[in-house]
């Protein structure tokens, strides 16, 4: 198997595997093990690296795809471009806004759920979660296209 095909497959596997592990294993384990404020702080520290990982994997996958003989290259390139766009919005727009909002909320344990800041945070979190699921879904589609 040529090196570009190997790099493409490895990048897609690392991206979707990392996103799936972070979303469905690591984050729930952290929130189960620590109080909400501590868990949110830990996950908040991990998010910038998580998004950089996704961007790096996406760029490598897209670059390797252009040099590979993969089937469905056009469809795969479109899916990767959409996944990269979602990840970039999460990394450079949503995450910084959510982090700034978290700084304004003294405690998620004591601040009422109907507080306007928590409502804004919940909305950003929902958009980010939907984007994350879309990235995972795109990754699964890429694996199926292989």
**Span 20-26, mean pLDDT?**
97
pLDDT recorded at residue 6: 93
pLDDT in tens, 53-94: 999 999 999 999 999 877 789 999 999 999 999 999 999 999
Averaged confidence pLDDT in the chain: 95
**Span 14-41, mean pLDDT?**
97
pLDDT recorded at residue 51: 97
pLDDT recorded at residue 81: 98
pLDDT recorded at residue 71: 78
Going by pLDDT thresholds of 50, 70 and 90, the confidence category of residue 43 is very high
What is the number of other CB atoms lying within 10 angstroms of the CB of residue 143?
13
pLDDT recorded at residue 65: 94
**Span 114-129, mean pLDDT?**
96
Judged against a pLDDT cut of 80, whether residue 1 lies above it is answered with: no
> Where exactly are the structural domains of the chain?
3-145
């Amino acid at each position: 198997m040529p090196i570009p095909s190997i790099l493409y497959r490895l990048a897609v596997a690392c991206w979707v595997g990392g996103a799936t592990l972070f979303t469905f294993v690591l984050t729930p384990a952290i929130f189960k093990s620590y109080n909400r404020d501590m868990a949110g702080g830990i996950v908040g520290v991990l998010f910038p690296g998580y998004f950089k990982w996704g961007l790096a994997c996406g760029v490598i996958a897209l670059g390797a795809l252009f040099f590979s003989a993969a089937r469905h290259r056009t469809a795969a390139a479109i899916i990767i471009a959409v996944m990269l766009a979602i990840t970039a919005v999460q990394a450079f727009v949503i995450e910084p806004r959510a982090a700034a909002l978290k700084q304004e909320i003294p405690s998620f344990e004591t601040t009422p759920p109907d507080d306007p800041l928590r409502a804004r945070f919940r909305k950003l979190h929902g958009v980010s979660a939907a984007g994350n699921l879309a990235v995972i879904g795109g990754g699964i589609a890429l694996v199926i296209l292989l």
